[in-house]
Amino acid sequence: MRESGEASKPTSEKPPLTVSGATMRDAFEAFALAHEMRQRGIPVCALHVDSSEDATQGNNSAPAQSENVHHEADKSAPAESESLYAPSSAPEKSESLYLDSLDFLDSLGCGRAEHARTSDNKTEEQRRKEEEDAVRARFTHELLGGHTSTLPFEDFLYRAIHEHHNTPPRECENGERDSALFYFQRVLRLHPLFTFRTPPAEVIETIEGVMCEWRGSGPGTRPRNVETDWLYWFGVECEDARTEILSHWPPRIAAGRDRHAEAFERSRQYQVKNVAKVTKRGAYAQVYERFLGVAGWLQVVVGAGPILLPGRRLGELLGVKQQTVSNYVQWAIADNFLRLVQPAAPREKLAAAYVFNVGRCPMFAEAAAPGTEALYDRARLV
């Protein structure tokens, strides 16, 4: 409740602010308000907390006044008012505790005081380091989870180059090692600019465009032509890098994903539609359409070979129970989308294997490897 006092001061002088009450909550709010008022230019030289027993009893006897905030026109406040917030003419220090507002906030452990002290004192280098740490943390989180990146492409490419240098080529089963840019291309697939349908020439053009913008910026010596860009940033000759991307793009599985997660991400980008028109499931089987999309893209990812449809794993991706996935499998077999080629053998710990009919969907048939479409016709009925 606001009360207007007598106009005995010039209008240019700001009236003092008084907060009544002596509870810890009132004290905290008062000192927080004091710090805010100081930032706005209202002069305050001391803060007064009356910790006497009379003040506490007075506060308990008049709870309606404990949260009142009002302006007094005269500096001499009434004697019966226990002031938590005092102007430059503060009362004497007898039986009172005087603290700076920031120190008081520190004593409460709220963290606001330290933030207020340091937020305005950060150097440009500190701010830049914090931004780099935030970008690095987001990139690492999305990479480990196999999530589509939310970073701008320039920031993403810079972090991907670091990941390229920090990850040595993997040794394959035949004793050979992965190519120089194999893992980098898998990481590149996490950015929304590049899908498995992006032409490799467009990938090369985009990367070289960013490297061209980086020339002459930042510390150190930057290359001056596209031939030395690849060698400077990747340690690979330009012709070797271009040839590898033209030969091996797109990678089948993006970094941080397994086959089922890759199929699920592709099904989100390129969905199977109009299933209700070609089946008897009706318009209520929308998740069934998503299941068919995952199964179809999984066949594309695997190639000309059988696929596995674990109920628990697909249930996590689709947000349904394991039994529901089993029902979807039976529906797909009845609708001529799936064919069982190997039944499950629990004793041998063998899962059931299936073949998806990619020929029923032109989107799958176009993206599938050679021989995948004929696999369904040659599959043995079980």
The DSSP symbol for 307 reads E
Boundary-marking domain end, from 83, 100, 118: 118
The predicted model scores a pTM of 0.62
State whether 269 and 348 are in the same domain. Answer: yes
Rounded to whole angstroms, the Cα distance separating 375 from 250 reads 23
Give a yes or no: residue 225 inside a domain. yes
The whole-angstrom separation of Cα 37 and Cα 41 is 6
Residue ranges in the chain whose pLDDT is less than 70: 1-122, 171-177, 216-224, 276, 282-283, 380-382
Nearest to 44 by CA among 79, 6, 9, 88: 88
Q: What is the pLDDT of residue 95?
A: 35
According to the model, what pLDDT value does residue 82 have? 41
Helical axes 286-302 vs 311-318, angle rounded to 10°: 120
| pLDDT at 291 (0 to 100) | 94
pLDDT of residue 41: 63
- Residue 186 domain-assigned? yes
Give the total number of structural domains in the chain: 3
**Residue reference for tokens 């380091």:** 129
pLDDT value, residue 217: 61
Last residue of a domain, one of 248, 272, 300: 248
**Structural domain ending residue among the three candidates 198, 218, 248:** 248
CA-to-CA distance for 168 and 179, rounded, in angstroms?
10
Residue 219 sits in which domain range? 124-248
Q: With contact defined as beta carbons under 8 Å apart, do 223 and 229 qualify? A: yes
264 and 156 within one domain:
no
The answer to whether residues 296 and 360 belong to one domain is yes
Residue 254 in domain: no
* Residue 208 domain flag: yes
Calpha distance 101→103 (Å, rounded) = 5
Most distant pair of Cα atoms in the chain: their distance: 101
